[in-house]
Amino acid sequence: MDFDKLAYPETIYIDGVEHKGKRNVSKGELRIPYSNEPDVGIGDIIVQKSGKREIDLKVIDVSFLESGSLNVGTKHPHMLTLKVENATAQEHISTNQSSTINIGSVSGEQVQVGNHNSQISNISIQTLVDHVVKNGDDEAKSTLKTLLQNSSVASLVGAGASALLGSL
């Protein structure tokens, strides 16, 4: 019985050389027992055979440990531990990048900071009329009068529409 196949079931290719290993996907870790030190370093792409397909793995960190396998489950004495990320899956994973923005001081009634936000502001019609009257903007007064005289708007506002028109 070949213990390598049970303890190290994955087939890994490093620089074209086949190795047996065990990948812990949740930890992003790949352990490969070896006799002759594989030529691998940070930033390298290695390949894991997965059925009829291949998965590219990017090496993030490397640790060579002599006599690290203790010959448990393998005839190879040394252990290579790689921190890897699935490079094949990267193009299929949606990224939701967050940014840190430091703001010294902000003042105002309505402030919006961030990406993909929406801002909803509710004011009363009375507040709108008061603001237009206070600013003395004739064009705004005329537009607001036309809006309040509209039958659909007047029915929505109700009896207060005529009082608001009187304010303008």
The residue among 54, 40, 50 whose CA lies nearest residue 82 is: 40
Answer yes or no: are the C-beta atoms of 79 and 32 closer than 8 Å. Answer: yes
d(CA 98, CA 113): 12
Answer yes or no: are the C-beta atoms of 58 and 9 closer than 8 Å. Answer: no
Helix, strand, coil percentages (3-state) for the chain, rounded to 5, are: 25, 30, 45
pLDDT along the chain (168 residues), means of 10: 72 94 94 94 94 94 93 91 91 70 69 67 78 85 84 74 68
pTM of structure? 0.54
Q: What is the pLDDT of residue 1?
A: 47
Beta pairing class for 53-65 and 10-14: unpaired
Q: What is the pLDDT of residue 96?
A: 67
Tokens 């490969």 -> residue = 32
Q: What is the pLDDT of residue 49?
A: 93
Answer yes or no: are the C-beta atoms of 9 and 20 closer than 8 Å. Answer: yes
Domain boundaries, the chain: 3-90, 125-167
Q: What is the pLDDT of residue 150?
A: 82
